[in-house]
Amino acid sequence: MERRYYWVNIADVPQWYITTPVPASGGTFDEPWMFGEGHSLPDPGPSKARVRRPGQKRTIVFAGVERTPIVGEALASVLKTIAPDDVQLFPVEVEGERELYFIVNVIKALDCIDEAKCREIQHYAEDEPFPEYAGQFRWINGLRIDPLKTEGAHVFRLKKFKIAFIVSEDIKNALERVGNLGVSFERVTEAPDLH
């Protein structure tokens, strides 16, 4: 049976806002967006993040404009158990919190977007000021992926649309059992054809 996948996104629910992680020693990372690139990273060392806007604490949050995934201990355990080959977990100290939190670095960026089945794809223009975005998509409405091209991964980014944080149904269900999520899940694989 084909695996089902979901795009994890920020939900419209009350929640706190956490800033982009930075080195605990001060300053910023040279590449603050590195946790969303879909490849393995060297250990960045001790990190910290501030609470920019207090609110309802959640077990998963996308921090800063880079939307760095940060999870609590229970969700980190889920990812370590189900998807140990898909993610790196780096401890991050969240200002004022005693609980352990972890930056989730997804180490796979897969080329599995089913362009013909997506509702709308917005491309980067030829004259974009950022040549590194050439060939990538600015935005996708009605995202669809081909589950046969996911290489059995449970958690991954998309090669041409790295903002998307994709999880398998097994991960989705396990996260929902932990609860108190500040995210929504948009299904990105087709419902099975019953005809």
The 10s digit of each residue's pLDDT in 2-43 is 789 999 999 999 999 999 999 999 999 999 999 999 999 999
Q: Which domain range does residue 64 map to?
A: 5-111+141-187
Q: Are strands 5-10 and 161-168 parallel, antiparallel or unpaired?
A: antiparallel
> What DSSP element (H or E) covers 177?
helix 169-178
Residue 195 lies in a domain: no
More confident site: 129 or 192: 129
- Mean pLDDT, rounded, for 61-78: 94
Q: Give the mean model confidence (pLDDT) for residues 125-147.
A: 81
The predicted model scores a pTM of 0.91
Q: Is the pLDDT of residue 128 over 70?
A: no
Question: For the chain, what percent of residues have pLDDT higher than 70?
Answer: 93
- Residue 100 inside a domain? The answer is yes
Residue 40 belongs to a domain: yes
Q: How far apart are CA 143 and CA 163, in angstroms?
A: 12
- Residue 183 in any domain: the answer is yes
Rounded Cα gap, residues 136 and 124, in angstroms: 7
Count up the domains in the chain and report the number.
Answer: 1
131 inside domain: no
How far is 22 from 74, CA to CA, in rounded Å? 23
Specify the 3-state DSSP secondary structure of 55.
Answer: coil
